Amino acid sequence: MNRTTLSLIAGATALAAVTGFAALSAPDTPGTQSTAKAAAQLPVERTSLLCPAPSMSDIAETSYTSFTPVTKGTGSGGRAELRAAAQESRDGSGAGGAKGKDDGKSGERKTGKTVPTSKEPGKPVTGDSSGAESPALVGTADGRFAPGWTVQETTEVAVGTGRGLQGVNCTAPDTSFWFPGASTAADRTDYVHLTNPDDSAAVVDIELYGKDGALQSTVGEGITVQPHSSEPVLLSTLTDEEQTNLTVHVNVRSGRVGAAVQALDDKLGGDWLAASTDPSGSLVLPGIPKDATSVRLVAFTPGDADADLKLRLASPSGLITPAGNETVHVKGGMTTAVDLGDVTRGEAGSLVLTPTDRSVPVVAALRVVRGKGDKQETAFIPATRPVGARATSADNSAKGSTLSLTAPGRAATVEVTASAGSEGGTPVSKTYTIKAGTTQDIEPPVPSGLKGTYALTVEPKSGGPVYGARTLAATEGGVPGFTVQTLPDDRGTVAVPEADEDLSVLQK
């Protein structure tokens, strides 16, 4: 089957590994214990990214931005490429759609404008597509384009269910994903998009957990996702129960997939719900917009034990406890939702969850609403990993981008670099200090002479862990469209143990 190729050579979110082998030297003298040499941090050599089909609306306008930050230690070769995935049944109806059977409609899909080839890392490239036929994309990058490769997918939908601004970072394939914050309520249309990058079929179970525990469903078991294909599964076809707040667990029995939930509301707009970080006793959910009119926390603990969590808001002045929501009790195996209202009260904020006593692994996400009346829009903020060595955010413009950084423990110093623009501009960098226990909203630096869009890289230089999120905002028809993407470590490098030749092992 011929597939349209979307070449994006200039990339940014790392998702491949370099494999190293090490031999330990024999002890020099009896009784001396040998130790491995310190591992070297080397650039990854290959990265995989998967982008879900952006929209089912005929009036959707989607832009793609690809970026790879400049990374020391890479060679001169390599490339980055995105190809259209075959699309299985999109209506999600019945077991035929859920099981990934060929409905005769899979095949070549148009991807819109081909993205021009970029010659060097450090400069974004962009492309676009229109309508409901834009496919999911399967991407790989190698060589100098692999470390930190990031692709941002941003869609504008003017009217209808889910209208507003929807954004998602294309993600790495994996075998387990948690999505607290999904719904099967009457006013919601939620799809979980599954994309298989490999040459063999993947088999997936979709488990749903509501306020009273697991929802019974046999349709969500053993879903087959064909090789190099993508399948959207409508959550309401997996259960007869209407639940306002759900946790979705995508568990891959064989193979691997990329997964994301598209959450569309009849009245409140919609956005992509990215996976929460792995279950943990303490979580950070960064970047709540200061003008949020409604914030809802959805939390779930996968085990049988209950979790008791302390809620604190990292504000510009420090950690504060929301009045009336000092703690939350999460029953084992059940989804818990807490409405926090306008918790930020006009200031930047991030939610910090810590155990009140013993630590129980939890996943969590926030549903954030901006606007009032019939001009409301929704975005989601999942719990995320810290920035780590470096995080990257693509598809920023001179106006409408806000960078939110949080240091929940110790203070931290962070360098933020604005890349060259996709159509011109010179990179610039600026250093910021984030005080302990605070969140700071930053109007990010802009490349001098900017033309087009640009990327941001965030690199902590000293201090404690930093968490981050980037908000894109664009008001259309009086509706405050926005989307939030968190900024976990881009995994551009990997620790590779040093290897020594040790022939003594052959003498034993």
Q: What is the rounded average pLDDT of the residues 324-332?
A: 96
Task: Please tell me what DSSP assigns to residue 160.
Answer: S
Compute the distance between CA of residue 193 and CA of residue 59 in angstroms, rounded to an integer.
Answer: 20
First to last CA, the chain: 55
State the pTM of this model. 0.87
pLDDT higher than threshold 80 for residue 27: no
- For residue 506, the model assigns a pLDDT of 54
- Report residue 478's pLDDT band, with 50, 70 and 90 as the boundaries: confident
Residue with tokens 């965030």: 458
pLDDT digits (tens, 9 = 90+) for 68-109: 999 988 888 899 888 899 866 434 433 333 333 333 333 334
Q: Which residues pair with 440 in a beta bridge?
A: 405
Compute the distance between CA of residue 375 and CA of residue 424 in angstroms, rounded to an integer.
Answer: 35
- Report residue 221's pLDDT band, with 50, 70 and 90 as the boundaries: very high
Q: What is the rounded average pLDDT of the residues 245-261?
A: 98
Q: Residue 5's CB: how many other CB atoms inside 10 A? A: 12
pLDDT digits (tens, 9 = 90+) for 373-414: 989 999 999 999 999 999 999 999 988 999 999 999 999 999
pLDDT digits (tens, 9 = 90+) for 440-454: 999 899 999 999 999
Of the ranges 1-10, 34-43, 109-118, which one carries the lowest mean pLDDT score? 1-10
Give ∠ CA 129-132-135 in degrees, rounded to 5: 65
- Report residue 8's pLDDT band, with 50, 70 and 90 as the boundaries: very low
Compute the distance between CA of residue 463 and CA of residue 392 in angstroms, rounded to an integer.
Answer: 20
- For residue 218, the model assigns a pLDDT of 82
- Report residue 479's pLDDT band, with 50, 70 and 90 as the boundaries: confident
- DSSP result, 89-105: -SS--HHHHHTT---S-
Closest C-alpha to 128, from 42, 62, 183: 62
Closest C-alpha to 243, from 178, 187, 198: 187
Compute the distance between CA of residue 202 and CA of residue 137 in angstroms, rounded to an integer.
Answer: 17
Sequence spans of domains, the chain: 5-25+38-496
Closest C-alpha to 358, from 394, 305, 420, 293: 305
Give me the numbers of helices (H) and strands (E) for the chain, helices first please: 1, 39
Strand ranges across the sheet with 363-370: 335-341, 294-300, 363-370, 377-382
- Report residue 60's pLDDT band, with 50, 70 and 90 as the boundaries: very high
Which of 4-8, 20-24, 141-145 ranks highest by mean pLDDT?
141-145
Closest C-alpha to 260, from 156, 367, 179, 380: 179
Cα-trace Rg, the chain? 23
